[in-house]
Chain A
């Protein structure tokens, strides 16, 4: 289904790039489109995916609320984008590497991070960046696009060490495609033919700068052609389409056909429903009607409609899911709000071994705290 309105929203012109219409499986009302192939997921897997998307939505609401109450610091919301985040992580094998940005909370959670770890940095505790052993997720990337060459390098290294079936999946936004690191990372990926999947979460806005002001390219997917790799546009509000395309791209990265290059650039066409972060006010630069039009295609509603229509989901199961989500969120928030960080810990992990100069600095801080007490440090800085 592609209405005129769709064409405008998804930013492609029917004449020039008609073939680049985003891939879609679920229509906006959750029905399966004619000729679309539903991915091979069991009912349990589909319900689990739905639960994770719903958890992500609730996590987002809770985090924004906590920030407004001053209980956590600046938070980057993901509502509208969580369907794509969850689906791409479902496509990963356990051993595949994930390179997330500061917005991919749900992608990280699905690939093995605890909710508590997601919340801890927001409360000022750096140990939240620590990833459980054996979970291949990098700490979130905040400087834009810097993860892209690193993901290429990780995939390259895996291939060099005889392990091309261990892929890397790298998230970034539409704004990141303007940075030099985007060019360098994709170029290396093509040249060295490494098992990497790039997922551009094109949410139409880089803070206040709209997609059409970010690049004069008609689509982001078309940039892949310049690097000799495949580019695909997907409806990023359709979790099943995101899952299918990402799974196929990962499969190709690991076991390419003879003429295939391993890397893929997936342009996940989506929308940032809310603010860039809780420090941002979108009403200063965009029209809320635009956001409302995208909400009509909501990933959670679409999957819910599909699962209800196929008798996989009913009210009873929905209620069970809601209970589980609320209790996990409540537990996680409580745990994190009771967490503390020892001031000594800022000297840990700077080097493998603490240099003498640094030990002296740590000891001097300790001595001052003992002499004056911690309250002396909590004076308002200004």
Chain B
């Protein structure tokens, strides 16, 4: 193994192994995460996994199920219970030439690692003038809706999006989960990979068996429409698509749904292109409203497409309160009813 520098980049893994086949498996999102990990562990001997309970137990959500049996306890490592230790040693492992994929058990437990992430992983490339980089992935299950205990349901993506040098990706489907995670593992920079656990097992779809990348930094249009664009990501795609169908049926409103997929760097081109066609925007996210990523999207639209704007941009978000316990989470999270209301207000402005 050689030391990793900023120059030796991303493309060392042999991506051709299965590329000829068009086989698919029908997977849930969490199974697709595991499939991506399996794929990269198979293709690139530098890839390793570390985290709490990722070995014998296969991860508390089973995202690493049986990987330790396939690849050994040296490459799928149960660590002591210490998030700063996991990310800090992960940085060192990356600098030594490996490609660590760290699992932090829940986003709400990522904060002990915050210093390592923002003071070091995010800026080592900058501090070393490009001499070193930290090619690691930090996976975190996140978001609400599964009746979890306190501190297990937060959406704090804005913390990481705000930090220059970190990339932040959020899949909303099994196929994207696999492709985005593979792209994240191959990326030369640190990637915070947020997994919406509400939809870990909500539905299945066909996922290519071969290795493939969904490029970081590219949004996806989930539903085409002419009247208003709803920008969202992760688990909120589902209520947004329901809301879009409901307003189409009731009010004949034609909704476009843009799935950001990567929150840093944002895909300004897709955001603006959609808005230039619809002239109206609603942004839906689970995180609290104030200084959420929705504010950045709204500001980007204002900067880039002001003259196309037909109505105020509405945000449907979590409230500026601590995430409530499960009895109230259905009021806290953007439900279809709240997204529909915002769509109608925006269109009738």
Contact = CB atoms under 8 A, between A and B. Distances in A.
Bound pair (A, B): yes
Interface of A: 73-74, 102, 121, 123-126, 142-144, 175-176, 178-181, 206-209, 213-215, 279-280, 284-285, 341, 343, 345-347, 350, 357-358, 361-362, 365, 368-369, 372, 376-379, 381-382
Given A73-B147, A279-B60, A377-B330, 19 more contacts: A121-B325, A143-B111, A143-B151, A144-B81, A180-B85, A207-B53, A207-B60, A208-B53, A208-B78, A209-B52, A280-B60, A284-B58, A345-B328, A346-B321, A357-B320, A379-B337, A381-B238, A381-B239, A382-B203
Interface-central residue, A123, A180, A280, by most chain B CB under 10 Å: A180
Contact of B81 (A74, A209, A358, A361): A209
Interface residues of B, number: 54
A280 B56 CA distance: 13
A204 B174 CA distance: 36
A378 B327 CA distance: 10
B56 to A, nearest CB: 4
B235 A284 contact: no
Contacts of B235: 381-382
A346 B332 contact: yes
20 contacts: A73-B149, A121-B149, A121-B325, A125-B325, A126-B324, A126-B325, A142-B108, A180-B82, A207-B53, A209-B81, A285-B56, A345-B328, A346-B319, A346-B328, A346-B331, A346-B332, A347-B321, A358-B320, A377-B337, A379-B335
B84 interface: yes
B149 A214 contact: no
B202 interface: yes
Contacts of A284: 56-58
Contacts of A378: 330
Interface string B209-246: 00000000000000000000000000100110010000
A378 to B, nearest CB: 6
B341 A368 contact: yes
A327 to B, nearest CB: 26
A46 B319 CA distance: 49
A179 B78 CA distance: 15
B331 A214 contact: no
Given A121-B150, A121-B325, A142-B150, A365 B331 contact: yes
Contacts of A73: 147-149, 326
A365 B85 contact: no
Contacts of B148: 73-74
A124 B147 contact: yes
Nearest to A126: B325
A181 B112 contact: yes
Interface-central residue, A74, A124, A284, A381, by most chain B CB under 10 Å: A381
Interface of B: 52-53, 55-58, 60, 78, 80-85, 108-109, 111-112, 145, 147-152, 198-199, 202-203, 235, 238-239, 242, 289-290, 319-322, 324-333, 335-338, 341
Nearest to A129: B150
A382 B202 contact: yes
A123 B147 CA distance: 9
Contacts of B80: 175, 178, 209, 213-215
Contact of B198 (A346, A376, A382): A382
B81 A206 contact: yes
Contacts of A179: 81-84, 112
Contacts of A379: 239, 242, 330, 335-337
Interface-central residue, B81, B235, B333, B338, by most chain A CB under 10 Å: B81
B324 A180 contact: no
B325 A365 contact: no
A207 B57 contact: yes
Contacts of A142: 108, 149-152
The 3 closest A-B pairs by CB, nearest first: A124-B327, A208-B57, A175-B81
Contacts of B52: 206-207, 209
A176 B147 contact: no
B322 to A, nearest CB: 7
Given A73-B148, A121-B149, A343-B328, A208 B56 contact: yes
Nearest to A355: B320
B201 to A, nearest CB: 9
A5 B340 CA distance: 65
B321 A358 contact: yes
A176 B319 contact: no
Given A284-B56, A379-B335, A350 B321 contact: yes
Contact of A381 (B203, B289, B335): B335
Contacts of B337: 368, 372, 376-377, 379
Contacts of A178: 80-82, 85
A108 to B, nearest CB: 15
Contacts of A125: 325, 327
A73 B335 CA distance: 21
B333 A209 contact: no
A124 B328 contact: yes
A176 B330 contact: no
B53 A381 contact: no
Contacts of A358: 319-321
Contacts of B327: 123-125, 341
A285 B57 contact: yes
Nearest to A182: B82
A381 B56 contact: no
A208 B58 CA distance: 9
A350 B322 contact: yes
Interface-central residue, B82, B150, B203, B242, by most chain A CB under 10 Å: B82
